[in-house]
Amino acid sequence: MAQLLITGGAGFIGSHACLSFLESGYSLVVIDNYSNGSIEALKRVTQLASLEKGSKRLKLLSGDICNISDLDSAFNSVDERIDAVIHFAGLKAVGESIEIPLKYWEVNVGGTLCLLEAMKRNNCRTIVFSSSATVYGYPKEIPISESAPIEPINPYGSTKAAVENILFDLAKSEPGWRIASLRYFNPVGAHPSGFLGEDPNGVPNNLFPLISQIGVGRRSQLEVFGANWPTPDGSAIRDYIHVMDLVEGHRAALEVLIDQEPQSFVVNLGSGKGHSVLEVVNAFETVSGKKCPCNFVGRRLGDVACSIADARLAKELLGWETKRNLMDMSYDSWNWQKINPFGYKTNK
């Protein structure tokens, strides 16, 4: 079974992916600088995957994708060659990217360049890249297909689009590269065990962690950004995707890259279904039995009324589609937060 390098494996999506790849038989080298990830998440991955202490199937390295020697050490940390890289590491907060754009370019674009150079040096030419639906900016048509214009409206989106371009150029320049850029819609939910989940630093920006924290009493109410969007209930609509579906999408993409002729593709990972903020609030109240008090405020800068993936290409190309619905996402997010009210820390 192949050996993978996972960058950013201690983060929300990365940790779920590590577990899923281990359960499928892959061996992993994980590199993370723990700026937005947790070593505790990886300890739990080890337990959930029932790995023996010191198992050679999971090597954890503290290191940075912007540091050439950290990357070379990762490639050289195992006797077998690294067959592919799953590249999650990066900065991901839209608002923060507007405040510190240079940092976003340095880490997301500079870090990926360092990683691609390290891959070349170490003769590894297969990569699955975490892109984002944010590259589409204000969508002109719903559902959003992969051929829609790429017009990011914030530095975070610009850095994701820039990396996609770098990957296109690389694929054209040298045959042999196998590249998948996966455009995530809104990843939410948690591992069904309740032992892995999303644990943002500080006040969350995103809807699901906010509502979950209201449920356990860490916050008092949800500010709903906009009550008069052109949607049936006036609140904005997003395509939420369960993190377990998302990581299964990565496995499907990797298998296509490994099993077929060298190729590069860009594909949406979404459910193809949209839910409004108020529908999400309702689903949460149902699964948790807790009230989520809402206060309607103005629209958030840069938000759009509706974002839903055209999910057909993923099904055609990868044979993958989402299996979990809004109730599953709400139940698993709530289960995680209920068991771990302060995330991976005992309290904050």
Q: Which of residues 302-321 bind ligand UFG (CB under 6 A)?
A: 303, 307
Among 31, 277, 287, 292, binds ligand UFG (CB under 6 A): 277
Q: Return the residue of 186, 212, 268, 288 that touches ligand UFG, per CB under 6 A.
A: 186
Contacts (CB under 6 A) with ligand UFG, residues 31-90: none
Nearer to ligand UFG, 124 or 163 (CB): 163
> Across the chain, which distance is largest between two alpha carbons, in Å?
58
Residues that bind ligand UFG (rule: CB under 6 A) add up to a total of 21
Q: Decide: 89 and 65 in contact? Cβ < 8 Å.
A: yes
269 binds ligand UFG (CB under 6 A): no
Give the residue carrying structure tokens 């839903």: 308
Cα separation of 143 and 309, whole Å?
5
Q: Is 296 in the site for ligand UFG (CB under 6 A)?
A: no
Least distance to ligand UFG from the beta carbon of 309, Å? Answer: 9
Regarding 94 and contact with ligand UFG (CB under 6 A), the answer is yes
Is the Cα torsion angle 268, 269, 274, 278 positive or negative in sign? negative
Segment interacting with ligand UFG (CB under 6 A) among 41-49, 173-181, 195-203, 221-229:
221-229
What is the secondary structure of 273-288 as a DSSP string?
--EEHHHHHHHHHHHH
Number of H helices, E strands in the chain: 12, 14
- Give me the least distance between CB of 259 and ligand UFG, in Å please: 29
What are the residue numbers of the active site? 156
- Residue 345 Cβ, how far from ligand UFG at the closest point, in Å? 22
Q: In the complex with ligand UFG, which residue's Cβ is closer, 90 or 111?
A: 90
Instruction: Return the range that interacts with ligand UFG (CB under 6 A); candidates 47-55, 161-169, 195-203, 219-227.
Output: 219-227
Exposed e or buried b for every residue in 222-256, given b needs 16+ CB within 10 A? bebbbbebebeebbbbbbbbbbbbbbbbbbbbbeb
Q: Which stretch binds ligand UFG (CB under 6 A): 109-117, 137-145, 200-208, 329-337?
A: 200-208
223 binding ligand UFG? (CB under 6 A)? yes
Q: Which residues pair with 179 in a beta bridge?
A: 127, 264
Give the Å distances, CA to CA, from 103 to 97, 111, 130, 162: 8, 11, 18, 14
Q: What is the DSSP letter of 178?
A: E
Q: Is 133 in the site for ligand UFG (CB under 6 A)?
A: yes
Cross-sheet strand order for the sheet of 3-7: 58-62, 27-32, 3-7, 84-87, 126-132, 178-184, 264-269
Question: DSSP characters for 294-328?
Answer: EEEEPPPTT--SEE-B--HHHHHHHS------HHH
Q: Which of 108, 134, 159, 337 binds ligand UFG (CB under 6 A)?
A: 134
Q: Which stretch binds ligand UFG (CB under 6 A): 5-13, 73-81, 128-136, 195-203?
A: 128-136
The DSSP symbol for 11 reads S
Among 238, 242, 250, 275, binds ligand UFG (CB under 6 A): 238
Peptide bond between residue 341 and the one before it cis (omega within 30 degrees of 0): no
Least CB distance from residue 239 to ligand UFG, whole Å? 7
| Site for ligand UFG contains 228 (CB under 6 A) | no
**Interface with ligand UFG (CB under 6 A):** 92, 94, 132-134, 185-186, 205-207, 210, 222-225, 236, 238, 277, 300, 303, 307
